[in-house]
Chain A
Amino acid sequence: MFFSLIQQAKKLLVLALLCFFFCYLFLQRLYFAQTQIFWRFVLFLDFPFLLLLAVSIGFITKEMQPGRPQSVVSPIPQRSHSSQAADTRGKHRIQAELKRLEQEARFLEEELELIERMEKASAACKEMFSNVESRPDPLLPITNGPINPMWDQWFEGPQEAQGCKCWIL
């Protein structure tokens, strides 16, 4: 019902534009016919006005053409078509996200099963402690052996290069 009202309103608009145009012509000839500037006025004002009128009528009547039954019968299918597309896109996105969540849930359940058989942190701490203690470390003041003589290479020989090999810099 709303759409048919719009159609009626468009028809009325076209009629109103036509009426206005003819009134304009009548008044124009009534007041300017006696003067030589009449024809110049016609050229300058009538042509663009005619063009605007033609475009407006063409635009309005195009929407009223019978070749687009959907818009004539009801705008709702046209609107729902675009909203249907949006729903489909949203649906796919939600489905993908849902799938990811279900996969995440499966992974978490697997991890919960594994954690039941897992040893406590103290075992890992003990292993780490043992590993660290046993390895020689050149950066420590107190360390296990054996010492590598290369550890002190940084303090042997000239510390600054005499020249740079790279000519670019």
Chain B
Amino acid sequence: QMRFMLLFSRQGKLRLQKWYLATSDKERKKMVRELMQVVLARKPKMCSFLEWRDLKVVYKRYASLYFCCAIEGQDNELITLELIHRYVELLDKYFGSVCELDIIFNFEKAYFILDEFLMGGDVQDTSKKSVLKAIEQADLLQEEDESPRSVLEEMGLA
């Protein structure tokens, strides 16, 4: 089971955080700061897995963004890596070749997609089609003047 997921930029700016285990605010901040430092110091050819505190951290960098998941020791690291990848694929499909800016300006959307994909830290739906369908359903209810219409229109979903 996943403990938390973080997205942060190469400059160490947090872009998204999802905690699946009750953690105090202070502890969260400390963990985020520490973990960012550790991950950012890693060199490109190094292993994507880390032992950090009593957790396993699986991270992967996509362009300027680091995706970082903390799991428990006995969990499967490789499948977690693929989980990150599937999430990126989902974002990509939704935003139409996603970039960090998309996530900054529409981070609530990124959260919605994540919630549809993982529920309480466990994989809920791995089918790309049905995750996006669920998001669209909710999106379609949006009023006409809301902003990121265009993306959906381009994808032929609106």
Tell me, yes or no, whether A binds B: no
